[in-house]
Amino acid sequence: MHPSEEARTIHEIERELERDFPRVPVDKVRTAVEQAWMQYLHAPVRDFVPLLVRREVRLWLRQAA
């Protein structure tokens, strides 16, 4: 995945989760997405990173809500 494509994907994930969790402050959603994404920075296979990040952050947001 090209870096510009990754940035766009991160932005899309943030917006999706902000819509799905409107009571969670935007900065917390963005921080959670960025932290989750960083865990996979050196993953040899990048195709599933967006899916993994969405799942991980969604689970965290549900538990935090």
Label residue 4 by pLDDT band (50, 70, 90).
Answer: confident
Q: CA end-to-end span of the chain, whole Å?
A: 32
Interval 14-33 mean pLDDT: 97
Domain parsing of the chain, residue ranges = 3-64
In the block, which residue shows the tokens 């969405």? 54
Angle at the Cα of 37 (from 40 to 5), degrees rounded to 5?
100
Looking at this protein, which amino acid is placed at residue 50?
Answer: P
What is the DSSP secondary structure assignment for residue 48, as one 8-state letter? Answer: T
Residues in the chain: 65
**Residue 7 tokens, joined:** 């940035």
Please tell me whether the overall predicted TM-score, pTM, comes out greater than 0.75 for this model.
yes
Angle at the Cα of 43 (from 17 to 48), degrees rounded to 5?
45
pLDDT tens-place string over residues 7-20: 999 999 999 999 99
